[in-house]
Amino acid sequence: MAQNNAQGRGCSGTRRNLRDVGARGEDEAAAFFEDLGYRLLARNFYTARGEVDIVLRAPEEGPEADPETVVFVEVKWRLDDRHGTGAEAVTVAKLNAMRYAAMWWLEKNPEHRAEHVRFDVLDITSEEITHYEGVEW
C-alpha cells in the first residue's frame, strides 16, 4: 500500500501532495525565468491532447533577448537524478502533446502570437536548475 501511495496511486492525499510539489516546482521555475527577464504569460493550461506548465515571452533586452519568441516550458522537479534527469523524462509523445497545446494556446491568445516558438525543459533538483532551450527530438 505504501508503495502505491509513493507512486501517486491509491489515496487522494498523495495525489494532492504530488500536485503541491509540482506547484512548488513551477513557482520556482517561474521565478527563475522572471529573474532572466522573461514575462510570464500563462501557467498550467490543458487541452484534450496535451498540457504545458509555463508559457513565457522571451526578454526584450539582455543576454536572453528575443522578444519575438514565445516559449512553452515543461517543468520537471525531482529530488535527485537517481532515476534519470527530468529532461530524460520528456518523451517524443510529450513534446508532440506540447506542440499541440502550444498551437491551441496561440490560437486562443492571438495577442501573444510571435514570429518564433520555442520548447524548453526546466529540470529542477534539490541541488540545481538546468535549463534546456529549444528541445527537439
Give the model confidence (pLDDT) of 93-114 as tens digits: 999 999 999 999 999 999 998 8
- Main-chain dihedrals φ then ψ at residue 131, nearest 5 degrees: -105, 120
Which of these, 25, 20, 84, 13, lies nearest to 53 by C-alpha position? Answer: 25
Q: Which triple of cell numbers denotes residue 21? A: 510539489
Question: Poorest-confidence range of 6-20, 27-41, 87-101, 109-123?
Answer: 6-20
- Of the candidate CATH numbers 3.40.390.10, 3.40.1350.10, 3.50.50.60, 3.40.640.10, the domain formed by 2-132 belongs to 3.40.1350.10
What is the C-alpha separation between 115 and 119, in angstroms, rounded? 14
What is the C-alpha separation between 8 and 134, in angstroms, rounded? 30
- Contacts (Cβ under 8 Å, ≥6 apart) of 63: none
Q: Which triple of cell numbers denotes residue 89? A: 523524462
Give the mean model confidence (pLDDT) for residues 27-47.
95
* Better pLDDT: 80 or 38: 38
Compute how many other C-beta atoms are within 10 angstroms of the C-beta atom of residue 112.
Answer: 14
Which amino acid is residue 91, in one-letter code? T
- β 69-77/116-124 pair status: parallel
**Which DSSP string do the residues of 99-111 spell out, in sequence order?**
HHHHHHHHHH-GG
Which of these, 116, 103, 107, lies nearest to 66 by C-alpha position? Answer: 116
Does the pLDDT value for residue 21 go beyond 70?
no
Look at residue 74 in the predicted model and tell me its pLDDT: 95
Give the mean model confidence (pLDDT) for residues 34-51.
93
Look at residue 13 in the predicted model and tell me its pLDDT: 52
